[in-house]
């Protein structure tokens, strides 16, 4: 088995999020500490205990062909929008299609199609069910659509690892290049499942914030008054390439994907175990060849749940220490589930590129049990040697990514 130790660079970025319809607007909003969480105004939410969400800032149908979009689930739509931006940003690299791979993670896939078409079946019968239902609901749909759009024939992969899916996709992209199985990989995460059933389920599990009267203050990582996450939707995609290939084509890079660590807790279906988180961070550091002291920023998973934030804070303290700055952008976007790890990677690598760390919103009363240096109030500027991004998911999935400056 071939293992390549050459640097893998991030040459393309694409995103559509509750903060903006592309990378530039999303990043500007993050640096401004903006709010992307809003009330759900539709009638179907009136009786729900949860009536707030991180809705997309720009509808994907504004960027896609109308006929094509109608045959795609919203999760597939956002993946394609982000992938097209990332591919263009990378300069549309000239690559053998059989050496171009796609890895798009998702937590729920086409949940809106599945639930919506079930309603159609119950209400109107089998003849009214869309013939496009199955390709719209399948979890591999986002990766499939992106591979079709780009003509990628080197594999279309779909990690489904709950909230770690997007980060695992990027880690797999790194592996594909280092194992010599692909020259270019389009990797990221996509999610769109704002619907009464998930909202009701999370509310019943006491995992979702019910701060309906002030949605802009609902997601508050590490705050003593946090009461749960806020559901969000969107996608983020990176283009990964080997450094020599980028140099040969005269390309430019945003950052280096220096290492990744992926572990599982084998502990509990919803409760995290700190050992798995610590091991993921340490594996990522080892793969990057860096000591903990080199990490200047940790982009925390930090969903704003009472227990989850506390466990992660302890894990970061054990694996990295308390010297690193910490940011938690879910305070602005909400929790994008399968896309969360990818948007966290985006924030971390852009912080390394620009020497600018976005602030964490709503940290009004820091939890006294947490000793981390969480950035608040405004952008913290200064050069970063390396940044680490964490993603943890139900089922005990853990993924950590390390980014360093581009050469």
Residue 374 parent element (H or E)? strand 373-374
Out of 75, 163, 208, 254, pick the active-site residue.
Answer: 163
301 tagged catalytic = yes
193 tagged catalytic = no
Out of 195, 208, 273, 301, pick the active-site residue.
Answer: 301
Residue carrying the six token digits 């980014």: 403
Provide φ and ψ at 237, rounded to 5°: -135, 140
Provide CB contacts within 8 A for 30, sequence distance 6+: 19, 329, 332, 347, 358
Burial class (CB in 10 A: 0-12, 13-18, 19+), 382: exposed
Distance CA 52, CA 295 (A): 34
Query: For the chain, what's the residue count?
Result: 407
Distance CA 89, CA 349 (A): 15
SS3 138: coil
Show the CA angle centred on residue 130, arms to residues 125 and 135, nearest 5°: 135
195 tagged catalytic = no
SS3 95: coil
What is the rounded radius of gyration, in angstroms, for the C-alpha atoms of the chain?
20
Are the beta carbons of 293 and 321 closer than 8 angstroms? yes
Q: What is the DSSP string of 240-285?
A: EEEHHHHHHTT---SEEEEEEEEEE--S-SSS--HHHHHHHHHHHH
DSSP state of 304: S
Out of 254, 273, 299, 335, pick the active-site residue.
Answer: 335
Beta strands in 140-278 (DSSP E): 156-157, 184-191, 234-242, 255-264
174: tokens are: 């790194």
Residues labelled as active-site residues: 163, 301, 335
């Amino acid at each position: 088995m071939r293992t390549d130790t050459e640097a893998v660079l991030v040459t393309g970025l694409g995103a559509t999020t509750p903060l903006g319809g592309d990378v530039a607007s999303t990043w500007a909003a993050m640096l401004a500490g903006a709010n992307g969480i809003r009330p759900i105004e539709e009638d179907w939410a009136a009786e729900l205990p949860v009536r707030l969400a991180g809705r997309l800032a720009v509808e994907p149908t504004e960027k896609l062909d109308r006929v094509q979009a109608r045959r795609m689930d919203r999760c597939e739509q956002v993946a394609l929008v982000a992938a097209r931006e990332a591919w263009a940003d990378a300069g549309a690299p000239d690559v053998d299609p059989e050496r171009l791979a796609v890895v798009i993670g998702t937590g729920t896939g086409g949940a809106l199609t599945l639930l919506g078409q079930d309603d159609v079946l119950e209400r109107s019968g089998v003849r009214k069910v869309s013939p496009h239902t199955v390709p719209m609901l399948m979890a591999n749909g986002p990766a499939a659509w992106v591979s079709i759009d780009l003509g990628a024939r080197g594999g279309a992969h779909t990690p489904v690892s709950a909230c770690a899916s997007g980060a695992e996709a990027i880690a797999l992209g790194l592996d594909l290049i280092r194992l010599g199985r692909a020259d270019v990989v389009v990797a990221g995460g996509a999610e769109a499942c704002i619907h009464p059933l998930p909202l009701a389920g999370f509310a019943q599990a006491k995992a979702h914030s019910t701060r309906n009267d002030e949605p802009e203050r609902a997601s508050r990582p590490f705050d003593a008054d946090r009461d749960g996450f806020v559901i969000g939707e969107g996608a983020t995609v990176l283009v990964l390439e080997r450094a020599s290939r980028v140099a040969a084509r005269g390309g430019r890079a945003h950052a280096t994907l220096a290492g990744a660590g992926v572990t599982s807790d084998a502990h509990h279906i919803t409760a995290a175990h700190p050992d798995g988180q610590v091991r993921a961070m340490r594996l990522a550091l080892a793969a990057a060849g860096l000591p903990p002291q080199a990490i200047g920023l940790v982009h925390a998973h930090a969903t704003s749940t009472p227990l989850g934030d506390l466990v992660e804070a302890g894990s970061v303290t054990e694996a990295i220490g308390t010297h690193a700055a910490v940011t938690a952008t879910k305070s602005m976007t909400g929790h994008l589930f399968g896309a969360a790890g990818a948007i966290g990677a985006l924030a971390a690598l852009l912080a390394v590129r620009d020497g600018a760390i976005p602030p964490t919103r709503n940290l009004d009363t820091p939890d006294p049990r947490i000793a981390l240096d969480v950035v608040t109030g405004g952008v913290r500027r200064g050069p970063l040697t390396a940044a680490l991004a964490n993603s943890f998911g139900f089922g005990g999935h853990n993924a950590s990514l390390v980014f360093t400056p581009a050469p």
